[in-house]
Chain A
Amino acid sequence: MSVQLDARPPATPAARRTARPGRAFRLSRLDEKYSPYLYIAPFFLLFGVFGAYPLAYTFWVSLHDWDLLGAEHPFVGAENYSRLLADADFWHSVVNTLGIFVISTVPQLLAALWLASLLNRRLRARTTWRMAVLVPNVTSTAAVAIVFGVLFGRQFGMINWLLDLVGVGAIDWKANRFASWVAISAMVDWRWTGYNALIFLAAMQAIPGDLYESSAIDGASRTRQFWSITVPLLKPTIIFAVIVSTIGGLQLFTEPRLFHSGTNPIRGGPLRESQTMTMYMFENAFAPHYNFGYGSAVAWLLFALIAIVAAINVVVLRRLGGTDRPARARRVRKERSR
């Protein structure tokens, strides 16, 4: 402190008398300047401990031949990555992950949009309906996965029984690549469609009603209103939902893992029909291989894949109709409300 006091211009007696209020003023200036950092510090500390540190550590591990139980972990550089890039089972899991992601996310978001527009109309017992769509999301993923696993059973499953009633042969949902993707997507959609519908609904309610009124006067049909007013104004929300679904979809683990029961379910079927990247990571890092280094390399490539897919999503969505429209609409709305 004294150093700082000395650094100030020579103080007059009058200034000395006002030293106290000056310090208080300075403190409040400091408070204003730095206390925001204090307020956000908990997030960054938590992120550092639980986000950044594990990320960096995983990378460090991925550069080693790291047996989970081993006493020594020799450094091998990029060897895990080069082996992984040549590993057919890894690419198989990448295709599975992307396949399940596409056939779950696309119908899910479309259905959510449709549900939200239904819920946005004047309905009887509207709150009940709105709450009802969220119920699947409250159920534990494990319970959902186990129930669906039984529903999609080969011999005793209800779905095959129903298929049999209408004369379609039984499908081995767990040992047929495309069928298992569909079954897992059904699980994911059952759980997340309602959640996304509520998010879309919230955004829809922020769209001013006069836009619809004036378009109705201009003779626009409901469908036209939906595609020309609702969807464009929902674009930021859709981008948000797509990115969140991307992250969740590419990290899919619990549903496919619990879909398979019995010996070595982490393979996702005898020919790895529905083994996702996270399952492949687990298979390598834990049982039966316990090769932590290789598993960590899978984790990093998964991270890279998510980043790439998210970037593609944003670019594609921006191209579709341009981003400036929602912003302009917001500006218009603000001006009107003034």
Chain B
Amino acid sequence: MGVFPRRRLAAMALVAATALLTTAGCGGNEPAEGGPVTLTVDVFGQMGYEELYQEYMAAHPDVKIVERGTGGNLDEYSPKLTQWLAAGKGAGDVVAIEEGLLVEYKANPQNFVNLLDHGAADLKGNFLDWKWNQGLTADGKQLIGLGTDVGGMAMCYRKDLFAKAGLPTGRDEVSKLWPTWQDYVATGEKFKAANTGASFLDAATNIFNTIVLQTAGNAQGYHYYDTGNNLVVDSNPAVKQAWDTTMDIIDSGLSGKYGSWSEEWVSAFKQAKFATIACPAWMTGVIEGNAGPAAKGKWDIAQVPGNGGNWGGSFLAVPKQSKHQAEAIALAKFLTSAKGQIGAFKAKGPLPSNPQALDDPAVADSKSAYFSDAPVGKIFAAGAKSLKPVYMGPKNQAVRTEVENAVRTVELGQRNPGQGWTDAVDNAKKAAAK
């Protein structure tokens, strides 16, 4: 006796609890049917899209755009985006993907809409060849992302600190101070001798990244992985050369040791605690954001030591989980069009990857008021078409982290350069195997 009622009671309990759970789970507000489509755009850093959204919404009254993540750190954005993709829920309709992360997503292209199925093939001419190719999967059959910007390189510096140290302040003369990285170190030593209370550069990791991408771009076109996806940290002369140059910089005591992207780094911008920072085009927006309006006109932009190089740059992609793929694709196409890229460049400085946009007078002749009217169009855009990209392998992000951390341990005096290099190689191998 009692078997049946017990089951019934259990069933009732189950029903009650399920009802409880489902009501608890239904808190979200679904958009009303037939209303405007809301597109969520996930970004990091400073993409400069605000005005473009306004323009797009004015032209498409049925679309409402919500952006998330401006000013955010890439290190926090990447895992979040990956979790959303893995969970099949949560990602925006259009998502920005940095080139280092894109290589990892390319291994699992099923998470993204193939833009080639949506007429993107006609847009090929709108992008620098290598930028277009970066967005393609290895077999060339799926286009994951449309290029936004590229990271043409320059060296930003504070004129007031240079003047204090008795160095020239005009951007052309400053560029002449450092045709090579050895000259940059020599200039740094002069700066240091003047005891301005500031250090010559922000962090060794930033300068290392700049040098390694430049050296590798000018040599075989890859750094940590060769194009066959073999880890070559220990055997690639470009990596070792960049490492040794960075060790010279650390050895000369030029780095302020402000861990890049940390709160101290941001404070150091505000307090004018360092005089130079390697600046890919997108970094100009970061500098302006961190140093604030008070430093307007105190910064300027000179040529980067060495020759060219590309650091960073992003793509816009549409995750398969988006419920409004068609509208999202249209928006991504608009934002990466010549017009969109020019608008973003004018707002926050990311350098277009679109050749027409690069030639457009609005970019080519542009000056930056914040950076003492530096002709940013001439400095960045001129070299953009001849940029030599660097190939990135499947675990690029994890390997880069290990090498950068090794640089940091030497910078902080926790390791000597020899131990640091051993760590870099060993930990990179370990990370690549994970």
Contacts and interface: CB of A to CB of B under 8 A. Distances in A.
Contacts of B232: none
A263 B205 contact: yes
Nearest to B6: A34
A70 B108 CA distance: 6
Given A34-B5, A41-B13, A68-B82, A270 B434 contact: no
Interface string B84-103: 01100000000000000000
A291 interface: yes
B9 A290 contact: no
Contacts of B263: 146, 149-150, 153, 261-262
Given A262-B261, A271-B414, A38 B409 contact: no
Interface string A137-168: 00000000010011001111000000000000
B67 interface: no
B264 A37 contact: no
A182 to B, nearest CB: 18
Main secondary structure of the interface of B (DSSP, over half): helix
B82 A261 contact: no
Contact of B75 (A67, A150, A287, A292): A287
Interface stretch (B282-290, B325-333, B400-408): B400-408
B236 interface: no
Question: Interface extent on B, as a size class?
Answer: 35 or more
Interface string A196-234: 000000000000000000000000000000000000000
Contacts of A150: 263
B281 to A, nearest CB: 20
Contacts of A34: 5-6, 9
Contact of A270 (B4, B21, B414): B414
B82 A270 contact: no
Interface in B193-212: 205
Contacts of A45: 13-14, 17, 21
Contacts of B271: 156
Given A175-B412, A264-B401, A284-B434, 18 more contacts: A30-B2, A37-B9, A41-B14, A41-B17, A49-B21, A69-B111, A70-B108, A154-B257, A262-B262, A263-B401, A264-B405, A270-B412, A270-B414, A271-B414, A288-B395, A288-B397, A288-B431, A289-B398
19 contacts: A4-B4, A30-B2, A34-B5, A34-B9, A38-B12, A41-B17, A42-B17, A46-B17, A46-B21, A67-B108, A68-B83, A68-B86, A150-B263, A174-B259, A261-B262, A262-B259, A262-B260, A287-B78, A289-B398
Give 4 nearest A-B pairs by CB, closest first: A262-B262, A287-B79, A41-B13, A288-B398
Interface of B: 1-2, 4-6, 9-10, 12-14, 16-17, 20-21, 75, 78-79, 82-83, 85-86, 104-105, 107-108, 110-111, 205, 256-265, 267-268, 271, 273, 395, 397-398, 401, 404-405, 408-409, 412, 414, 431, 434
